[in-house]
Structure 1
Amino acid sequence: MNSTFAFLGFFAACFLVACSGAVFRPGDWYENLAKPSWNPPNWLFAPAWTLLYILIAIAGWLVWREAGFVPALALYGVQLLLNAGWSAVFFGLKRPDLAFGELVLLWLSILGCILLFAPISTTAAWLMVPYLAWVTFAGALNFAIWQRNPRPA
């Protein structure tokens, strides 16, 4: 496969995952939730995720360029699916409790990618670190929102 096409493929995959945020939008439900004082302003999420998706795409492409389609890229695909799924669970189903569990799986899959990427491309592994940091923060935020907004019995 041509490296340029592969590069574009990784970006396309990340773009498709990003679209889940456009399909499952926060809306009034999210606006009316009790949130912690350290909740970032809504405008911050789009630029943060844009940068992260660029880094994620480059990381995947670097691993592919060095080693081809290795098992590490299967886990990369899993983390992309989990990433897309979080918006569906949190915003679509309006379930911060289930979304937190899904986010724990996402966090573990990102960590796994970093560990599997490192022997192949240290640059790719490091490009995933800001993503792990953001998802760590997002997990704390998700948990705080869940605790402040328990589901009615």
Structure 2
Amino acid sequence: MLRPLFFIVPVVVAGLLIGWLNIPGAWYESLVKPGFNPPNQVFGPVWTALYVLIGLVGWRVFDKTPDQPLRWLWILQMGLNFAWSPAFFGLQNIALALVIILALLATLVAFSLRARTKEPISALLFLPYIAWVAFASLLNIAIWRLN
């Protein structure tokens, strides 16, 4: 029963650490944002909940199935996920962040399509993550276009 925590805790901690190291500051506040931009206080709780799901899916993929491509897709999405904040907030590079988030979205869709038959519970657990990353992609596109 504790085995999932070996994925969930490191994913949540890493996500929180990356968020803490890449806090939106004056540069982000100065950007023109679209009307559908949520308040800043929404992002932390949403990402924390998503990181719990991502960790749970990681455990399921590495514990419940021997499918190597599915495992590699999980690792790839994790790397892309963790690369977005440093690109956007750290480097203040909206275009690079956009490339990263679109690659993340494509990886999540590929993961879910493969997981449908190999690990269907993981495919379902990733649906909120896909929805949020799709929304965040639209937000990133809008910020890029407005600035």
Q: TM-score when scaled to structure 1?
A: 0.88
Moved more, 111-120 or 41-50: 111-120
Which of 11, 27, 50 is the equivalent residue of 2:8?
Answer: 11
Which runs of 5 or more structure 2 residues have no equivalent in the other structure?
Answer: none
In the TM superposition, what whole-angstrom CA distance separates every residue of 1:48-105 from its partner, at most 9, and x where no partner exists? Answer: 1111111111112122222146321111011101001000110011011111011111
Whether contact under 8 Å (1:35, 1:145) holds in the other structure is: yes
In the TM superposition, what whole-angstrom CA distance separates every residue of 1:96-151 from its partner, at most 9, and x where no partner exists? Answer: 111101111111111111122222221111100110110000000001111111xx
Question: How many residues are treated as equivalent by the alignment?
Answer: 146
Q: Which residue of 1 aligns with 2:19?
A: 21
Q: Which residue of 2 aligns with 1:79?
A: 77
Q: Which residue of 2 aligns with 1:63?
A: 61
Whether contact under 8 Å (1:14, 1:57) holds in the other structure is: yes
Q: 1:113 to 1:13 in 2, by over 3 A?
A: farther
Q: Secondary structure at the match of 1:4?
A: coil
Q: Secondary structure at the match of 1:119?
A: helix
Q: TM-score when scaled to structure 2?
A: 0.92
Distance in 2, matches of 1:74 and 1:32, equals 38
Percent identity for Structure 1 against Structure 2 = 38
Which runs of 5 or more structure 1 residues have no equivalent in the other structure?
Answer: none
Moved more, 70-79 or 27-36: 70-79
RMSD of aligned Cα (Å): 1.5
Residue type of the partner of 1:83?
N
